[in-house]
Chain A
């Protein structure tokens, strides 16, 4: 490639002929206020056709609000400033209006009808009809065409809920693309995807870019941003702090803009002397709830010592998450095997057995483990209510005091212990989960992808917190979809493939590529 990178505006990397600087979508002085907060503050942004723009920034930077305004989730009149689409004033009154104008947002959370088929999901909003009735043949045929066009290898008649999260997400994206989108906005599209799936998604995005679609994607993963984006826009505190062509910036500079100051990568875990074995899992198997012959976790045995951080890595479907869920007694299907805590055999049939045995679970899906419209104090105290009493009555004041104590100790950013957990950023919600198990005095912590969807700054904080927990003698089993995270944080890494434990790697020998190879079975 002999392109002059500095001239990237006129001749973008993608090499679109005729792509001009004229933006598809442009905002001028866009400001969106919520009670007490200016979420987006006087943003001027030009989004160009045939280019991929990565929107970065810490949680609470205003990225989500900005893309929601563009996608019509906040109707015109609830924000200030102007937006133009193809040179004309643009102010959709709802999401459907934005879609009709060609601006489509793919939300972070997969949003599908799990009991309908893939084909039905794909045509949900404009079902083909014959004589006023649904033409189910055309529904299926149309779906096959779309799936083939975007090379998504899924059976059009499969029930949506039977697919894994990543595939469901690809179907959602295909559904959006089927609507002739001019501007495609993706909110953390890779959060649930494995690296291979993410690569496939990026191929789709490049193809769309070549067709002249303007693509905006929000991500926290810098590696993928630098792999795919043409341009990086960094937001912080509602404003744009940096706007660079990809060739003119670096990871370090972008991180600095996001965090406000340069941060050092978190130091590797110091190999302290691990204590006694706290968690001993023997021959654990977890059967699929719909298909009892299929073992999602197959004869897994592992130990975690006090003060030790053991990583569990595998591709989507390898059984890492189900292993944690099964240890915690929350797996819906049949589970066999035995579990010892501090050398004592425990029977764990339900999560309440696990909590009583001293095990805590931090789930990747915070909406699953937190009561979002209850306060921080209420959420922290939830597993410890039985101990939080005074002469048989709930000690409401102590509950709030504990909330305040942990807000200070874990630096949870919140106005008070009475704030609803749902108003906190992802990283702070994770800290609430940590606080919960500290108060419950759990000895074993199962962390299922604790940094999924949290920003770079909070990620570092959570890593430091995990190490501090280990330093306090907790035994930690850390499940993560990010190989790099495990290499940075863990003392030992276990790798799973198709439900079985295949490799046990000391941290000193681990590297990102080794993990990926072992997980893929190469």
Chain B
């Protein structure tokens, strides 16, 4: 099996160009991430432990379809993968919670095990699955991408190799946001504090 080096796209200009080819936009993909992250945050201590992930997955998948189903994309549930499908590009995109996104030396790991359908749709078992920077050259006519969102909001659109229920390598990784620059819990406050200490003058006549 011929191996190809994982292709990383990190710069805005190359990302936008590539996303344009894939008939998606960075803005809409980030909106999907936002929806998923927002839903994650709605989980409280009283919810089941896996609530953040399931909330994120359900609503992330919903948002993916909500933003894209239309001219180029349609809803797809083939191979047990809840996704969107572009028939022209023969491309599928699904939502996935991962442990860590946008780190070159780490292949994102899905938070839940991927099924055989995902394995078939991705490419099959690689020979050197433990080497993240290489992946088998894919010859299949259809491609499966995941919008991978980690708990800190980092997000990448990645075409992974699925093997043994997890992602073992990637053919292409498009970094959409590292999440750290837009932490929702931190306001971009500087020293522009509030105006207060007003002292209305009251004078005895």
Task: Tell me if chain B binds chain A.
Answer: no
Interface of B with A (CB < 8 Å)? Answer: none
Please give the residue numbers on chain A whose beta carbons come within 8 Å of chain B beta carbons, in ascending order.
none
